[in-house]
Amino acid sequence: MNITDRRRGTVFLAAMVGLGSGLGTLLRAVIERAYPAEVGEWPWSTFAINIIGSLLLGAVLESLAHAGADTGWRRAVRLCVGTGLIGGFTTYSTYVVEVDRLAQSGHSALAAAYAVLSIALGIAAAGIGIGVAAAAFSRPRPGRAEEGE
């Protein structure tokens, strides 16, 4: 592959990240505007967005790992969907602002619970996504003989 082809490939992949992140950010903005958190209340929209995003990212990355090496279309999907779409959709920067807002408004216990549960459940959700994708890839596919038969 010559340098011109590599540059085109890099531009294409960067465009995929941009496309995905634009869509993910738009989706998050729509959800957060539809379900805003009032001061002193649990920020449910950001909480759900981050947990769902963690679950999806785990499932996407595990699925791509089962599909083969991180090259070609798999790399493009990882960058567009994983880095772009899910990266734009999730928002740990807003999460930190919300933790601070809860603490500054006198809701320290709620802020601490939100901080800990967001991270713990995000990690658990990613693990569930990985587990579900791994299980889906380990099942025999219909119409295919089992190994050893």
- Per the annotation, binding residues for Na(+) are 87, 90
Euclidean distance between CA atoms 58 and 127, whole angstroms: 6
Return binding residues.
Answer: 87, 90
The tokens of 148 are what? 């050893």
The helix (H) or strand (E) run that includes residue 130 is helix 108-138
102 close to 114: Cβ distance less than 8 angstroms: yes
Q: Return the DSSP state at 106.
A: T
Euclidean distance between CA atoms 108 and 94, whole angstroms: 17
The tokens of 28 are what? 């998050």
